[in-house]
Homo-oligomer: A and B are copies of this chain.
Amino acid sequence: MNIYPLTSFINRLSAHTLLSDEEHAVLLGLPRREEWVKADSSALKIGELAKTVCVITEGLLTRSTNTKDGRRQITSFYVSGEMPDLHTLMRPRSSFDLVAQCESQILRIPHIALRDAIHKHPAIGEAFSRELVHQSDVTAEWVVNVGQRPAKARIAHLFCEIAIKKGAVREQDTRFLLPVTQAALADATGLSAVHVNRSVQSLRHDKVLGFEHGEATIPNWDALVNIAGFDGAYLRVGEPDRLAS
């Protein structure tokens, strides 16, 4: 448990953008309102006019949109430390739903406070822009995943991405909580729930992925990466873009 609940989010920014001590302090001092979001309820609805930006401190949220004929597609998973609706700072009218997959804690930071911080510290604005670009890159990779990979690889790829996001990767016996239903995995991968079930079983049988009771286990990371055709470059872990502003 962090003393400063914003720390993991600041670490995320620091991973790609060099921030001064003062800028760190400004971020830590941002006004915010703690809020618990119950499972299956939404932190932000499509069409809603956002006045705050969230930071997740606990739990798991998804970004999703519905087609006219009532099908649902999840377009991103957001873990602790991420800002799922940062984009509303530039475009307050939300273009998708943000729903909690389990009881989750978020911090709501007013747009005004962020705008003010950006105004006074351009590097903070730069960090946010970079974060947005990062999220955009991940979304593009999702298009590739859903468009090109067969079911098993598609699911494997998703688990690889989340494992890295959560910083849970080990050579052997990677293990992390992922409190989602198989139906949610189906909505994220563009597969049917039934087929997700069979594919997960098959991956389990191959001894590359376990997924039960909301906990994922990856006995052999390399094997899963191989099945997924996963190349983590798009996540840019540990490759900073520290530019002088």
- Residues of A bordering B, CB below 8 Å: 16, 63, 65, 67-69, 71-73, 75-76, 87, 90-93, 95-96, 115, 119, 122, 125-126, 129-130, 132-137, 139-144, 146-149, 189-190, 229, 231, 233-234, 236, 239, 241, 243, 245
Contact = CB atoms under 8 A, between A and B. Distances in A.
A65 B136 contact: no
Task: State how many copies of this chain the complex holds.
Answer: 2
B130 A90 contact: yes
Contacts of A129: 90, 129, 132
Contact of A73 (B16, B135, B143): B143
B133 A90 contact: yes
- By Cβ-Cβ distance, the 10 closest A-B pairs, closest first, are A147-B190, A136-B136, A68-B229, A73-B144, A146-B147, A87-B133, A75-B140, A90-B130, A71-B148, A73-B147
A142 B93 CA distance: 19
5 contacts: A67-B149, A87-B136, A90-B129, A132-B132, A142-B143
A92 B242 CA distance: 10
B132 A139 contact: no
Contacts of A135: 136
